[in-house]
Amino acid sequence: MTKLSVNINKIATLRNARGGDQPNLKQMAIDIERFGAEGITVHPRPDQRHITMEDTYALADIVKTEFNIEGYPDQRFLKIIRDIKPHQVTLVPDAPEAITSNTGWDTFENESFLKEVIAQLHEYGSRVSVFCNDDPKMVEGAFAVGADRIELYTGPYAQDYMLDPKKAVASFVMAAHRAKELGLGVNAGHDLDLQNLKYLKGSIPFLAEVSIGHALVCDALYYGMENTIQMYKRQLL
């Protein structure tokens, strides 16, 4: 079974646009789990433009499924992980000013850094997933630095899906199979939606987890959150 982890950054963005506590992020996390999601994902950026430090600590006491905290492993981020000890940490190479994640790690260029960080995160008891492009060599690098899983950056797949689904997914299938051969779990995330998710799942049936935020929250404006979560879960059957 492929788990659905809902990234609630955009819910926090909506709240922050007006101030106050609407929508209530903690209640949304509780409801999203109740509606069937198997995890909650957050990305607490340094500028706190969506998920804040306070949010991250508060959610740690609320999430009952799997809490996945993603981000660049600077000292601020590592302190969060040390304090909270989430089920999963997803390492992304984003610069602080990045609007959203837009590439995976060069796991060879950053080998020493990642190896040290991952060893530290394992001491805290968290599973570690490394954000990777659709390149088997980068997957091998993730294995070499001690990752438990990779998360395939699926932005290029989503961009090319409508043109040629088979071609768009081919390199991701190769990278995923290389990860499986090495004993790494395979997650996926970025720009996945109701149009392209089912094809990705069918092409990589052993996907452990997908993390979806922007598209799912947009769909929830039309369909309602509970119905939307069920629609996404059906794509993963």
pLDDT for 21-64, tens place per residue? 999 999 999 999 999 999 999 999 999 999 999 999 999 999 99
DSSP 47: T
User: Are residues 235 and 197 in contact, defined by beta-carbon separation less than 8 angstroms?
Assistant: yes
pLDDT band at 102 (very low <50, low <70, confident <90, very high): confident
Q: Percentage of residues in the chain with pLDDT exceeding 90?
A: 96
Number of C-beta neighbours around residue 36 at 10 A: 14
**pLDDT above 90: residue 11:** yes
Distance (Å, rounded) from C-alpha 91 to C-alpha 233?
25
Average pLDDT over residues 12-19: 95
Domain CATH for 28: 3.20.20.70
pLDDT at 96: 67
Distance (Å, rounded) from C-alpha 41 to C-alpha 29?
10
pLDDT at 101: 74
**pLDDT above 70: residue 99:** no
Distance (Å, rounded) from C-alpha 192 to C-alpha 181?
25
- Give the three-state DSSP class for 193: coil
pLDDT at 94: 84
Which residues span the domain enclosing 8?
Answer: 3-235
Give pLDDT tens digits for 183-215. Answer: 999 999 999 999 999 999 999 999 999 999 999
Average pLDDT over residues 139-166: 98
Annotated catalytic residues are 43, 70, 190
pLDDT at 6: 98
Q: Is the peptide bond before 73 cis (omega within 30 degrees of 0)?
A: no
- DSSP of 195-229, one letter per residue? TTHHHHHHHSTT--EEEE-HHHHHHHHHH-HHHHH
Q: What is the mean pLDDT of the chain?
A: 96
Average pLDDT over residues 112-138: 98
Average pLDDT over residues 232-236: 98
Least trusted range by pLDDT, from 86-100, 193-207, 218-232:
86-100
Residue 30: enclosing H or E segment and its boundaries? helix 25-34
CA angle 118, 119, 125 (to 5 degrees): 90
Number of domains in the chain: 1
Radius of gyration of the chain (CA): 17
Q: Percentage of residues in the chain with pLDDT exceeding 70?
A: 98
61 Cβ contact list (under 8 Å, min separation 6): none
Length of the chain: 237
**pLDDT above 70: residue 71:** yes
Distance (Å, rounded) from C-alpha 48 to C-alpha 183?
35
Q: Which residue has the higher pLDDT, 101 or 79?
A: 79
